[in-house]
Structure 1
Amino acid sequence: MTRILITAFEPYDRWKQNSSWLALVDLTSWYEGALEISTRRYPVDLPKLREMLEADLARNYDYAIHLGQAPGSPVIKLESVGLNLRTNGEPLLVDAPAAYRSTLDLDGCLERLTAAGIPSQISHHAGTYLCNAALFLSQHYGEMMGRRTQSLFLHLPLTPGQVATDGSALASMSTPMQSAAIAVVSEHLAQADR
């Protein structure tokens, strides 16, 4: 059985909810597939994120799918590169590679998402905030700990409820569509292992 860790973030700044956590909670309410899924909600705090992520990856999952929200994005973004870079320009880790490129079948994931009618794209830059940190550290810890865990990051749009509460005109996507996307990607990765 394929074991997958799926993580999301808590709310931050002006956002009283986080679309990544809403989507993950929704997924757990209906998913009954063959995958063994473990979930985590990470704090928006780099030292705590590092500590929790390292402990989680010690459980040697097959995959780690990290979720985060991307205000303004109209599509789900499959992030292909984790950078060893913080917002202030300093590295996340000294004596670590400058970046890790995903070796997962992102093109296949994109095809499956598109076929399911879910707007998506492959992105080559996850920013320099905690979303990027989660991807880079997950890739690095997996490599350094000799684990089989392969990591992926999905940036999710805001939900319509978040946009309405914010009073803005930012792009949004429904939580059910986002949770369906997570399931589609998870199932595709598991099938690629067979």
Structure 2
Amino acid sequence: MIKILISGFEPFGGSSINPTERLVEEIRHDSFQGAEIRTILLPVHYDECAEILLQEMRAYGPDAVIACGVAGGRTAITPERIAVNIKDIPPESTISDNRGARPQDELIDPDGPDGLFSSLPIRLMVNRLKEAGIPASVSNTAGTYICNNTMYAILNEIRIQQLTAIGGFVHFPASTEMAVEKPGLPTLSHETMLDALRVIVQSTIDEYGNQFSQTS
């Protein structure tokens, strides 16, 4: 049995919707053979979001952590390849976290490596998503905002604690409902994104399920 922890985020940036909030609420009712699913909703606050997720990892002991976030403007599901050790909101940007924090050029972990690679089966995920008719591609930048911060924290925890767990981050486009507030925003339907998350979970099970069932 592989234990999978899936996280999503609350709304941010003036939007009343974050599609990953609904995705994690609904995916936890799904049943996957050979897997146990737990979900958590995170605040859009630098550091606090990561600490809450790390506390859940320590309490639950997952074999895999799939963190999910929204990337408005993207047109495809994009598993992230790498997280970088930086928190940075450019001066020209109007965005902040939900407490108004706007870090610039700050290291996430002063003692950590510059970058950490996802250990999720990102290429398999993308190939499976495309086979299912869902737009997808591997992304080589998770940005320098909360999503990157969270991805780095997961992988850094795995590194420091020398865990056998795998982890990474997947960005989803805006949902169709978000276009009501921002017409012209590229979107995918909730149903398509939920199907995509199911493919992502199943890909993780297929790639690593046997490995963790033998070690658990």
Alignment of 1:42-191 (within 5 A): 42-58=42-58, 59-87=60-88, 88-164=104-180, 166-191=181-206
TM-score, normalised to structure 2's length? 0.85
1:19 maps onto 2:19 in alignment: yes
1:122 partner SS:
coil
CA contact (8 A) 1:62 1:149 kept: yes
CA contact (8 A) 1:61 1:148 kept: no
Shift of 1:188: 1.0
**CA RMSD for the aligned pairs?**
1.2
TM-score, normalised to structure 1's length? 0.94
The alignment-based identity, stated in percent, is 25
Shift of 1:72: 0.9
* Structure 1 segments unaligned to the other structure (5+ residues): none
Structure 2 CA distance, aligned partners of 1:40 and 1:103? 20
1:32 maps onto 2:47 in alignment: no
State the one-letter code of the partner of 1:130: I
CA contact (8 A) 1:3 1:62 kept: yes
Change (3 A) 1:167 1:126: closer
1:59-86 superposed Cα distances (whole Å, 9 cap, x missing partner):
3211000000111111111100011110
2:69 partner SS:
strand
* Structure 2 segments unaligned to the other structure (5+ residues): 89-103, 211-216
1:115-164 superposed Cα distances (whole Å, 9 cap, x missing partner):
11111110000000000011000000011112222112110111111111
Shift of 1:172: 0.4
Deviates more, 1:47-56 or 1:70-79: 47-56
